[in-house]
């Protein structure tokens, strides 16, 4: 069964837009779990533009399900992640100018640095250390060399594909990547750009996906239907074929 972890960064973005105390991403995390989500994801950025250190400490206390800490290879953030010891640490590229994470890590060209970081995170007791990668076979082969035990497939190109042929082209890359990762013994996670419309084709085509991370579509929809319903609608689609 594929787990749904809800990314609550956008709740923090809204809070910070008015330098207010609400909406609180910690409350959002609790609401997501009470609606049935299997856990929560957040990205602690170096510039703290949405999630803050205070949020992370409280999330660690209140989240009962799985907690996925997305981070760059910045030493200060790595040390904080080791202290928090989430269930999953997902390494992502980070660029100050970007609106959201724009693509996967270039694992092949950074094996040495990533191996050091993966070892540090594992030695802090973090059970799953994941690399966010584009669906390219050479990146998945490189992921194994770093000692990571999990990959998160970047699904942004699939989500942005316009038209049936383009969608099929992108989903095939995800299928091949998921198959290779599974053969190599890696856990397969996926995320970026999923919504109620595009998820079914991914669900019905891409094998071995243990966990998906979904943020924007759920939080945006919650403006109209509330967070509880928005999470449940996505869960219905995710668990549909299980």
The Cα–Cα gap between 108 and 220 comes to 35
Kindly write out the interface string for residues 13-52 of this chain, putting x where it contacts ligand PXP by CB under 6 A and - elsewhere. ------------------------------x---------
Residue among 144 and 217 whose Cβ is closer to ligand PXP: 217
Q: Does 192 bind ligand PXP (CB under 6 A)?
A: yes
Minimum separation from the CB atom of position 18 to ligand PXP (A): 21
Task: Restricting to residues 165-184, name those near ligand PXP by CB under 6 A.
Answer: none
Catalytic residue among 70, 120, 136, 211: 70
Task: Restricting to residues 215-234, name those near ligand PXP by CB under 6 A.
Answer: 215-217
Task: Restricting to residues 124-153, name those near ligand PXP by CB under 6 A.
Answer: 132, 152
- The reply to whether 164 belongs to the active site is no
Q: What angle do CA 223, 28, 226 make, to 5 degrees?
A: 30
- The reply to whether 43 belongs to the active site is yes
Q: Which of 2, 3, 7, 177 binds ligand PXP (CB under 6 A)?
A: 7
Contacts with ligand PXP, residue ranges (CB under 6 A): 7, 9, 43, 70, 90, 92, 100-101, 132, 152, 191-194, 213-217
């Amino acid at each position: 069964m594929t787990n749904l972890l809800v990314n609550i960064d956008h709740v923090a973005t809204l809070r910070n837009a008015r330098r207010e105390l609400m909406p609180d991403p910690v409350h959002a995390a609790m609401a997501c779990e009470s609606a049935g989500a299997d856990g929560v994801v957040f990205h602690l950025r170096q510039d703290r533009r949405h999630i803050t250190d205070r949020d992370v400490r409280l999330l660690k206390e209140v989240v009962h399900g799985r907690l996925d800490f997305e981070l760059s290879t910045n030493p200060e953030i790595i040390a904080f992640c080791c202290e928090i010891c989430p269930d999953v640490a997902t390494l992502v590229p980070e660029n100050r100018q970007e609106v959201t994470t724009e693509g996967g890590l270039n694992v092949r060209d950074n094996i040495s640095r990533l191996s050091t970081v993966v070892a540090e995170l594992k030695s802090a007791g973090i059970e799953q250390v994941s690399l966010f990668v584009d669906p390219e076979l050479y990146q998945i082969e490189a992921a194994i060399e770093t000692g990571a035990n999990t990959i998160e497939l970047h699904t942004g190109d699939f989500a942005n594909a316009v038209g049936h042929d383009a969608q099929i082209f992108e989903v095939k890359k995800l299928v091949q990547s998921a198959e290779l990762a599974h053969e190599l013994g890696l856990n397969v996670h996926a995320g970026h750009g999923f919504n109620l419309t595009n998820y079914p084709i991914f669900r019905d085509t891409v094998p071995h996906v243990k966990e998906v991370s979904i943020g924007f579509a759920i939080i945006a929809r919650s403006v109209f239907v509330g967070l509880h319903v928005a999470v449940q609608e996505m869960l219905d689609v995710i668990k549909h074929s299980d």
